[in-house]
Amino acid sequence: MKERKAQVARKTGETDITVKLNLDGTGTAKIAVSVGMLAHMLESLSRHSAIDIDLKAAGDTEVDQHHLVEDIGIVLGDAVRKALGDKLGINRAGFFVFPMDEALGVVALDIGGRAQLQYEAKFKRRFCGELDTDTLPDLFGGFAQGLMANVAVRAITGRSDHHKLEALFKAFAKALKLAVSRDARLKEYLPSTKGAIR
């Protein structure tokens, strides 16, 4: 089987990001980003999806975190899309409900060729650690755009903002792992009745 690896770089007047990933890895993460809680969440994404992620990102965080967080989402989604190649034999869709103590996160995604985000999560505080939670829809929306996928994200319950955040990223990781996984029975199967995934 072909290796499912990709490397993507994005450099703008606002951000400078490079990512290398392996969809069939072991969850090894090398994350270099200045926002500590974001780095922690991306490490969790790698570990729980079993996708190796090597990411370096810098941005104009002295202005705001928005550009950096959104562009990381775009680059990660683009890298997953490129690593998937022809998409033959993948599950295409995935979902997961992840409990984190008193919090419950739900994520579903479909790699169907159309970018769309559904996001419903409320936090008590604007910042969780150093991460501006107001930018989370930008991260998941950027990922949906880069991967050309429908992504639905819900924080169902939770007292602790930290636990809600962790539940969301772990559910995201597990849903992504399922969606990109290949079914050995369907090696030449493209999961679309149209015969194409745009």
Range of the domain at 64: 5-186
What's the whole-number average pLDDT of the chain?
94
Alpha helices in the chain (DSSP H): 36-49, 66-84, 136-147, 161-180
Q: Which residue has the tokens 């034999």?
A: 89
Within a domain: residue 196? no
Q: Which residue has the tokens 């103590």?
A: 101
Within a domain: residue 79? yes
- The tally of domains found in the chain comes to 1
Within a domain: residue 24? yes
pLDDT bin (cut points 50, 70, 90) of residue 193 is low
Here the CATH number for the domain that contains residue 181 is 3.30.230.40
Question: What are the tens digits of pLDDT across the range 95-106?
Answer: 999 999 999 999
Quote the pLDDT of residue 185.
Answer: 81
Instruction: Tell me the average pLDDT across 59-78.
Output: 95
Question: What are the tens digits of pLDDT across the range 41-50?
Answer: 999 999 999 9
Query: What pTM did the predictor assign?
Result: 0.95
Within a domain: residue 192? no
